[in-house]
Amino acid sequence: MTQTLTIPRPDDWHLHLRDGAMLKAVLPETARHFGRAIIMPNLVPPVVTGADASAYRDRILAAMPEGADFTPLMTLYLTEETDPEDVAKAAADGLVHAVKLYPAGATTNSASGVTDFDKVRPVLEKMAEIGLPLCLHGEVTDPDIDIFDREAVFIDRVLDPIRKATPGLRVVMEHVTTADAVAYVQGAPKDLAATITAHHLVINRNHILVGGIRPHYYCLPVAKREVHRQALVTAATSGDARFFLGTDSAPHIDALKEHACGCAGCFTATNAVSVVAEIFDRESALDQLAAFLSLNGATHYKLPVSVRTLTLRKGEHCTYPSKIDSDDGPVTVFDPGFPLHWSVTTGK
Ligand code: DOR
Ligand code: ZN
């Protein structure tokens, strides 16, 4: 029996598009299924000012495939030198939809991030005043903290103090990976939300490490124990408006993933919608799929829900390429490790 499901066109509330040859290669993968995406600013050098964001948006629009209807929602990379007035102007111009805080050293290209959180206080206060969301990479970088504990410690040491010191600041805790983060978000008022990736709904830390090391499953925050994955699935499928998809699709060429010091990032843009649908189907939660993919994020970012649609159709199986090509080299598409059944067609 064919089953179909039509939902408003999904958005990706956390995406790495990179630049140059990689941008050209990965942009069509996202634009095929998603209508908008929050574009991460961790280029080298990072997208720090409104002028940087405007130039980057132009490069994205120039790389857009023929006939695509996709809107990049730009963000600024928060540094200790960020000028609150520049942020306010970029937001007022409709150019920038969030500011991204990377603790310095937390992940790929985060060296220009924040070490002293007091130094960014004026920017955070300005953002609270104008209602501009703060996106957070929620991991401490203290070498004494075990990598599997870094998200939970971040909540106590950084996130909670920032929220208490900046009332009214709208925050998105990005790519949450723990039951601790889910509980914290559930217990907070609606000005706090969280993105969840497709891959963290699928893998736990055993998938990375048991039977050989799987570099294409290595990302940051690193996947945790199974109990945490289950908490993420429960949150995503609950319909709670504070949780929505942010794929964190993060392309790195295979040569740099399959490496003595492999880069962090799972590339999921190509199949994320089908992967998420599969998870929701397994949980008998397809009635909540539109909330997670298409409604909750738009509400948090105070943007209209897409008037375009996307139709998912359940069949024998639906296949995706295992790699995509770029002029820099091949990029491996995330392998969920189980067959996918929901194929995607886009409507008007
Ligand atoms: O796995 C990740 N890859 N996590 C991040 O936070 C950054 C991203 C990237 O840019 O490669
Ligand atoms: Zn990311």
Region 31-44 average pLDDT: 97
Q: Convert the pLDDT of each residue in 132-147 to its tens digit.
A: 999 999 999 999 999 9
Cα(195)–Cα(75) distance, rounded to whole angstroms? 15
Grade residue 326 by pLDDT with cuts at 50, 70 and 90: very high
Q: Convert the pLDDT of each residue in 278-299 to its tens digit.
A: 999 999 999 999 999 999 999 9
Residue 289 Cα, ligand 2 centroid: separation in angstroms? 22
Residue 175 Cα, ligand 2 centroid: separation in angstroms? 8
Give DSSP secondary structure letters for 19-68.
SHHHHHHHHHHHHTT-SEEEEP---SS---SHHHHHHHHHHHHHTPPTT-
Are 262 and 277 contacting, i.e. CB atoms less than 8 angstroms apart? Answer: no
Domain 10-305 has CATH 3.40.50.2000: no
Nearest CA to ligand 1 atom 10: 108
User: pLDDT at residue 60 above 70?
Assistant: yes
Cα(208)–Cα(270) distance, rounded to whole angstroms? 21
Mean pLDDT of the chain: 96
Q: Is 254 a catalytic residue?
A: no
Q: Convert the pLDDT of each residue in 252-274 to its tens digit.
A: 999 999 999 999 999 999 999 99
Are 137 and 98 contacting, i.e. CB atoms less than 8 angstroms apart? Answer: no
Q: So where are the chain's domains?
A: 10-305
SS3 171: strand
Four-point Cα dihedral 283, 285, 288, 289, nearest 10: 70
Cα(202)–Cα(278) distance, rounded to whole angstroms? 10
Output the pTM of the full model: 0.97
Cβ of 101 closer than 6 Å to ligand 1, yes or no, is no
Grade residue 347 by pLDDT with cuts at 50, 70 and 90: low
Cβ of 336 closer than 6 Å to ligand 1, yes or no, is no
Grade residue 188 by pLDDT with cuts at 50, 70 and 90: very high
User: pLDDT at residue 245 above 90?
Assistant: yes
Cβ of 159 closer than 6 Å to ligand 1, yes or no, is no
DSSP for residue 157: I
Nearest CA to ligand 1 atom 4: 220
Cβ of 150 closer than 6 Å to ligand 1, yes or no, is no
